[in-house]
């Protein structure tokens, strides 16, 4: 039995997590927060930041870029949002959702990645299905009784109430199956077993790295906006920063600082594998 100091999930959620491999939280953000973050994404696209650079950088890598497509309904895939506004820092450990992350993952975790994706309405994007974390991580799955290695929260900022609207699409139960190595076996958003989820702006999907998932095409006539936050076990590397994210520390609470890699001392061997003594208390909000 796993030690569990924070119990937030209902029995139904616990079962869905084990069997289907994902959760949908209704109304994780309030309507006012949805409007706020949506406006932030419109602003951020005009500012410099990390964007994919196909042809210049390999898939999964991001280059510092002047701005995204300036049309607010155009595509955007912006990484590392934390510096753009205090609200992005505060979203890291937003109580209801972060409590659930602690319940699922345990207290020895760190923040790994923030991302804003706007899926434009277009006939040219067919969608795709993948697991998270690149070539090595897709070959690693944990059992139902294990803590997850990495978990993503995807906040919907747009209603997605019809298929083919850029739906977050999942293959329930696939977190326990090997991801195919051969391209011809990799499923797509309309393959048997793929479920395009429906949701309202403010809902959040929570899923582990090993769940086969991805976007459906978006033919809805409107852009689908999302924010994604990723958490991983402390012994893994964060996606967005290669060393403690010191530039942000003076804007963070002690818990946020720890989640961004501040262990309270300069690096020494053993760090990140053996946690500071106050780790559990800090994560549970008691320190």
Q: CB–CB of 75/119 below 8 Å? A: yes
- Positions 129 through 148 that interact with ligand AKG (CB under 6 A): 132
Which residue in 119, 138, 225, 258 binds ligand AKG (CB under 6 A)? 119
Residue 213 touches ligand AKG, criterion: CB under 6 A: yes
Q: List the one residue out of 45, 110, 50, 52 whose CA is nearest residue 72.
A: 45
Judged by beta carbon, residue 162 or residue 278, the one nearer ligand AKG is 162
**Distance, CA of 130 to CA of 238 (rounded, Å):** 19
**Distance, CA of 177 to CA of 133 (rounded, Å):** 16
**Distance, CA of 86 to CA of 108 (rounded, Å):** 24
Residues pairing with 214 in the sheet: 169
Instruction: Determine the residue with CB nearest ligand AKG.
Output: 215
Q: CB–CB of 238/261 below 8 Å? A: yes
Q: Which stretch binds ligand AKG (CB under 6 A): 82-90, 99-107, 179-187, 212-220?
A: 212-220
Which residue in 49, 148, 208, 215 binds ligand AKG (CB under 6 A)? 215
**Residues 171-210 as x/- pattern, contact with ligand AKG by CB under 6 A:** ----------------------------------------
Judged by beta carbon, residue 207 or residue 244, the one nearer ligand AKG is 207
Which residue in 92, 102, 117, 194 binds ligand AKG (CB under 6 A)? 117
Provide, rounded to whole angstroms, the least separation between the CB of residue 128 and ligand AKG: 8
Judged by beta carbon, residue 173 or residue 285, the one nearer ligand AKG is 173
Residue 228 touches ligand AKG, criterion: CB under 6 A: yes
Residue 168 touches ligand AKG, criterion: CB under 6 A: yes
Q: CB–CB of 146/209 below 8 Å? A: no
Name the token pair of 77: 């895939």
Residue with tokens 């897709």: 138
Judged by beta carbon, residue 215 or residue 261, the one nearer ligand AKG is 215
Whole-angstrom distance between the N-terminal and C-terminal Cα of the chain?
Answer: 26
**Distance, CA of 200 to CA of 58 (rounded, Å):** 33
Q: Which residues bind ligand AKG (CB under 6 A)?
A: 117, 119, 132, 168, 213-215, 226, 228
């Amino acid at each position: 039995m796993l030690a569990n100091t924070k119990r937030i999930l209902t029995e139904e959620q616990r079962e869905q997590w084990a069997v289907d491999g994902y959760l949908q939280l209704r109304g994780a953000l309030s309507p006012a927060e949805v409007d706020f973050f949506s406006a932030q994404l419109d602003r951020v696209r005009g500012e410099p930041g990390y964007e994919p650079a196909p042809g210049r950088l390999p898939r999964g890598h991001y280059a510092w870029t002047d701005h995204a497509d300036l049309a607010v309904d155009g595509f955007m895939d912006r990484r590392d949002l934390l510096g753009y506004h205090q609200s992005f820092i505060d979203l890291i450990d937003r109580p209801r959702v972060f409590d659930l992350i602690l319940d699922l993952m345990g207290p020895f975790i760190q923040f790994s990645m923030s991302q804003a994706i706007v899926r434009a309405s277009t006939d040219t994007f067919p969608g795709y299905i993948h697991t998270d974390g690149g070539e090595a991580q897709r070959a690693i799955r944990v059992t139902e009784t294990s803590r997850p290695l990495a978990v993503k929260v995807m906040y919907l900022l747009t209603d997605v109430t019809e298929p083919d609207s850029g739906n977050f699409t999942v293959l329930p139960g696939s977190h326990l199956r090997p991801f195919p190595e051969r391209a011809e076996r990799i499923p797509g958003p309309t393959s048997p077993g793929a479920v395009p989820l429906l949701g309202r702006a403010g809902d959040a999907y929570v899923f582990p790295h090993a769940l086969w998932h991805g976007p459906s095409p978006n033919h809805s006539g409107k852009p689908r906006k999302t924010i994604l936050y990723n958490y991983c076990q402390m012994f893994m590397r964060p996606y967005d920063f290669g060393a403690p994210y010191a530039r942000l520390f003076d804007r963070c609470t002690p818990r946020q600082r720890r989640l961004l890699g501040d262990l309270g001392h300069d690096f020494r061997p053993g760090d990140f594998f053996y946690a500071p003594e106050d780790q559990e208390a800090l994560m549970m909000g008691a320190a």
